[in-house]
Amino acid sequence: MFDFGNSNNGQKEAISSANGPVLITAGPGTGKTYTLVQRAIYLIEECGVQPEHLFIATFTEKAAKELITRITNELARCNITANVNEMYVGTFHSLCLRILKENLEYTRLKKNYHLLDAFDQKYTVFQNIYQFRNIPNVDAVLPDSGAWKQSEAICGYVNNLSEELVSPDDLERDVDPAISAMGTILRTYQKLLNDNNLMDFSSIQVETYRLLTEHSEILEELQRKITHLMVDEYQDTNYIQEQLVFLLAGKKKNICVVGDDDQGLYRFRGATIRNILEFPQKFNAGECKVVPLVVNYRSNTDIVDFYNTWMATTEGAKFKFQWGEFRYNKKIVAHTQVKLSSPAVVKLSGVDDEDEWHENILKFIHRLKDSGKLTDYNQIAFLFSSVKHPKVKALADFLEKNQINVYSPRSDMFFERYEVRLTLGCLMLMFPRYVQGLENGDYSTLRPEHITYYRQCIMLANEHLLKPENKSLLRWIRQTGRIHVGLQGTTDYAYSGLLYQLFEYQPFQGMLDTDLNVGVVDIRPSRNLAKLSQIIGKFEYLHRVDTLNGKYININTEKFFNLYIRLLYDGGITEYEDDSEYAPSGCVSFLTIHQSKGMEFPIVVVDSLSNVPRTRNNDLMLQIEARYFKRPAFEPYDQTKYFDFWRLYYTAFSRAQDLLILTCDEDKRTPSNYFRELSEHFQHPRRKNPTRSTRWNGRDSGRCQSIQCCFGRYYHPDNFPCTV
């Protein structure tokens, strides 16, 4: 008899629904991962399914690792011997790569093919931009800007078209010159991949689809081997992923998909909410079992009530829309129905004064810390639509100046870190002719901000080298520079070789020798130096630089700093993220809302309240979608901006366990009307009726009277509740 443990009725039904199509709609905090793990154990223990017959697709590698670990632990607890490594568990991309590697001889790929990441893909197109610029009528497709912007646009187009399985032949035959040019762009790009034995993330899935549809014997073998499929985060899948799932399932139809349509955030990557909403319709009437999970084990009752109301509030003075058929009707219920004496959803802001806002946030954190309710700064997460915004960076700088460490790996601070600037400065000093050209203003491709940055790197390196304890490093850099100035033949090293020699000196050696068990702030320099090493190695691969040659040393060095590093500097680089510890001890987290998905924190502070719903449709792509996508548009174009906006902030609000703070530096446009609508329902303690003149700020104190769920109270940070 299977031990369901503490599973609730919905979870039990989801776990024990072993065969046939199953849709599990899982709201935030409803034990989705637990249910997936227990369902896998149920299939193995109760139904006799061998682990190697299971296919479990997740959204991230972190989620895949967590699933494998928890399944392994559960099997051990149940004394079941099974080889979990044989299971197909991973992201769609990693699972497709596994299938391709097992059948490489049936694909266009040769051994030692190269997989392009997002930057590699754009850089490869950039290096071959002339091929695309020569396409007739390409001006109707590409932006009238530089080669890099055009390369970014090309990659966005081809990724979207590839994942929708659009044929370049069909596009090229279109009478519309722009659509025809788009077809040639797609064909040119595909030829570029073929000629160079390359594959990008989108083409991983395309190649797998082609393999399965063109080689029936391979598909049939996989269908025999894989008896049960489970797909997590199904609301974020795209067309080709849906096709792959149904191909692999075959006639058995043992497909279990799990997701939350209210957390569909990745339309910009081609994901479509229709996959989860239309899933039951893919089968005969009544054949698909739908199991809703609505009991939230994460959040306080007030928080659950708040985000339920957020999703239900679809009409205000400045907006009106209806979910209709584009959302499963649901209401999440908190598992523990406990009302605290203090509200769990509150506001904190400054008024037209960024300094005041910063101080209020600092006081809030200190009050929680001093009360003893906050035992580690990692219990707090700040969520933003982007962590690259100057206001976000200013807040992070302010907190760090006040001894509160901030963990924000996606804030593009990589090139601002001391260890990166020092390394680049030392490397530049090894090429005196390059430094001379920089000082003379010879490099027209560099904008003033690039020149300023490089000069700052050189100044930092000089300051370091002039210290008495660094004489040996200074001597080596000078000697290396003289070699490069007079180089006639070829060295036995390239740029990465110089980097590794540099790492033998202090402070680099000390940074790299850091104990991996120390905090994230202490280990960051080591991780960043490792990342810089990868960046340089990638440059050498992309430009086929194995050694330094006297004939090409100046050209290649200029390419490295003035092209490659410049583009990375402009685009920004994320720092190291530890999948095993998404909230490092001793730091508050600054995360994007997208990045926070799947996470939870005792205290969540949501900013970016000036945002408004925005339409992001591309007219040309809309025409192509209408004519050449395999299925018609699903959600109405004029409504999608509202759908996406509400889903984004629903995801943000539902990360909080004990305390949800809405914060902003208030001005005429902040918060936007979409958040101000709710705040206008507050009643000022000295007013009998709420009015539009009630300020949205952190100073007044009042209760919400007329809306089912509310922000709670206005609080000055000196009187902030400690409800954690």
Q: Residues 147, 445: contact at Cβ < 8 Å?
A: no
Q: Has 316 been labeled as part of a binding site?
A: no
> What six digits make up the tokens of 267?
């339309």
Q: Has 598 been labeled as part of a binding site?
A: no
Burial class (CB in 10 A: 0-12, 13-18, 19+), 257: buried
- Amino acid, res. 17: S
| Residue in the structure block whose two tokens are 């009530």 | 305
Residue 333 has phi, psi (to 5 degrees) of -120, 130
Cα 512 to chain centroid distance, Å, stands at 27
Distance from the first to the final alpha carbon of the chain: 40
> What six digits make up the tokens of 722?
């400690």
Give, to the nearest 10 degrees, the angle between helix 201-214 and helix 239-249.
30
Q: Has 90 been labeled as part of a binding site?
A: no
Say how far apart CA 299 and CA 340 lie, in whole Å: 12
Q: Has 668 been labeled as part of a binding site?
A: no
Say how far apart CA 396 and CA 589 lie, in whole Å: 10
Q: Has 391 been labeled as part of a binding site?
A: no
**DSSP letter (8 states) at residue 723:** -
| Positions of E strands within 240-395 | 255-259, 289-293, 295-296, 333-334, 345-351, 380-384
Q: Has 313 been labeled as part of a binding site?
A: no
Q: Has 314 been labeled as part of a binding site?
A: no
Q: Has 30 been labeled as part of a binding site?
A: yes
Say how far apart CA 478 and CA 431 lie, in whole Å: 9
* CB proximity list for 293: less than 8 A, separation 6 or greater: 10, 11, 14, 24, 25, 26, 27, 30, 31, 32, 35
Q: Residues 230, 57: contact at Cβ < 8 Å?
A: yes
DSSP H helical ranges for 543-658? 553-558, 566-571, 593-596, 619-628, 637-653
Give, in degrees to the nearest 5, the angle at Cα 568 between 564 and 569.
115
Cα 253 to chain centroid distance, Å, stands at 31
| Positions of E strands within 160-294 | 198-199, 228-231, 255-259, 289-293
Find the farthest-apart pair of alpha carbons in the chain and give their distance in angstroms, rounded. 87
Numbered residues of the known binding site for ATP: 26-33
Q: Which residues are annotated as a binding site?
A: 26-33
